[in-house]
Amino acid sequence: MSQKSDPSSFPNPQARALGQSGFSWFLSRFNRHTYELFRLAGPVVISRAGILTLALTDTIMLGPLGAEEVGRYGLGTSTFVLLLVCGIGLMFGTVVETSHLRGAGRLAETGQVWRRALPYGIILGVIGVVLTQFAETYFLLVGQNPHLASISASVTHIQGWGLLPLMIYMASNYYLEAMGRPVPGMIIVWGVNLLNIPLNLWLIHGGLGFEGADGAALATTVCRTLMMIGVTGYVWYLGGRHDYGIRQRPVPGWIAGGKVMRRHGYAAGPAYAAESGAYHVLHIYAGWMVANELASFTVNMNLLAMIFMISLGIANATAVRVGVAHGRRDWPDRALAGWTGMFWNMLLLMPIAVFLWLRPEQTMAFMYQITDQELLHVMAPATMLVGVAMMLDGGQFTLANALRGTGDKWSPTVINLCGFIGTMIPAAYIMGIYLDRGARGLYEAILLGAALACFILVIRWTLICARRARQTD
């Protein structure tokens, strides 16, 4: 849908809002935000789920090889994911700046944001590749068994080479999403998912001299490289590329001209890293436990991540809607955009939470084809908590992105540090290790940290909205 056809792009938004009765304005704008939210969030959810499905497919196809292969793949990938999520956060300024320019009607400048994001993404990707090569040393420093550290580090090394193409992919995909064009990225991601299956069949079983978890990691790295080529190529040949300035050299260049974009990323990156880092520490804790507890944590984390893709799509779409309203200086509509995202996050995740609470063992047996009744019994208490934890985690993530869409860079970061680093990590040690509650204790800590972050972010978003409401009056 073009910007001109969107009523929210009409001039003088404050007058438009005041010209309608309160309820009719609310209903009109809620319906518009809901429509745009799902138009953007649907493809984003499917796209992000596709990125995660690469790892999920690897885990499922490694299942017949035993708990050790699944465990080392999970531990090795957790370090890669920590760096990936940090990089994705550092790139988030691409969404914020592009949506602000789009809301202000300055479409010709949006391509400059993309051009500046590409070299920034390349630098982040190279740094990530270098860091992953020290994975074994890191695992040993955090107390992992030397054998497990060695076999898990090889997975991290191979996955690490995928960070460079993934950062370039994110620069291009973030741009498309902020411009309201999320479908191409979705199609490309699911295309490479189809390729991942035969690649796994070949590489897991000895292709090119790789096998097991190493082969699965290589297959996924190849797929991520193809994602980069497809999405970046699409932006380069995008219809309207001349109107958007996609092929124009940015002036000023990416270093000076990208300062605002990078500042948003400098705030989002640590916040993303705080949450992902907390989950990674929990994975380290799980590595100290017996094999079944590690497998329980790993498989439930895959399930948790799949559910979180719904919230991720809603949160990204919410950031775009809030950012567009912010660019128009339409404060009532900006507030409603954030609350609409929060509402739909909770409503969509509630049925999943109820089902997982009532049918944990049946869910894991069906999804992961697990027949070991003892393992299913170990997994069930953690599985029951996954859906509830994701309602709260998704809610906090949606409101954090809404705040970033307003230009509030650092408060979401501080709140994430409080909820995940300050609360989740020590609570996980106490409940999972000290009280010996196993994987269940780790997921109880996730629930606690997410609840605290969500509660504080609701207060922060309410205050931001109230402040602008007083200014409007």
Residue range 443-452, pLDDT digits in tens: 999 999 999 9
Which secondary structure element, helix H or strand E, spans residue 185, and what is its range?
helix 183-203
- Please give the pLDDT value at position 471: 56
- Please give the pLDDT value at position 470: 60
The separation between CA 215 and the C-alpha centre of its own chain, rounded to angstroms, equals 25
- DSSP letters, 357-402, are HH-HHHHHHHHH----HHHHHHHHHHHHHHHHHHHHHHHHHHHHHH
- Please give the pLDDT value at position 305: 81
Hey, what are 350's tokens? 């509630």
CA 391, 393, 396, 402: dihedral to nearest 10 degrees? Answer: -90
Question: Whole-angstrom Cα distance, residue 353 to residue 303?
Answer: 12
- Please give the pLDDT value at position 472: 53
Measured on CA atoms in the order 296, 278, 350, 344, is the torsion positive or negative? negative
Q: Which residues of the chain have pLDDT under 50?
A: 1-18, 473
Residue range 180-199, pLDDT digits in tens: 888 898 899 999 999 999 99
- Quickly tell me which residue has 């299913």 as its tokens: 376
Strand-pair partners of 205: 211
- Please give the pLDDT value at position 349: 94
- Please give the pLDDT value at position 11: 41
Question: Whole-angstrom Cα distance, residue 279 to residue 428?
Answer: 10
- Quickly tell me which residue has 């996924």 as its tokens: 220
pTM of the model: 0.75
Question: Whole-angstrom Cα distance, residue 84 to residue 62?
Answer: 22
- Please give the pLDDT value at position 20: 56
Hey, what are 178's tokens? 């902020």
How much is the CA Rg of the chain, to the nearest whole Å? Answer: 22
Hey, what are 193's tokens? 């998912």
- Please give the pLDDT value at position 459: 95
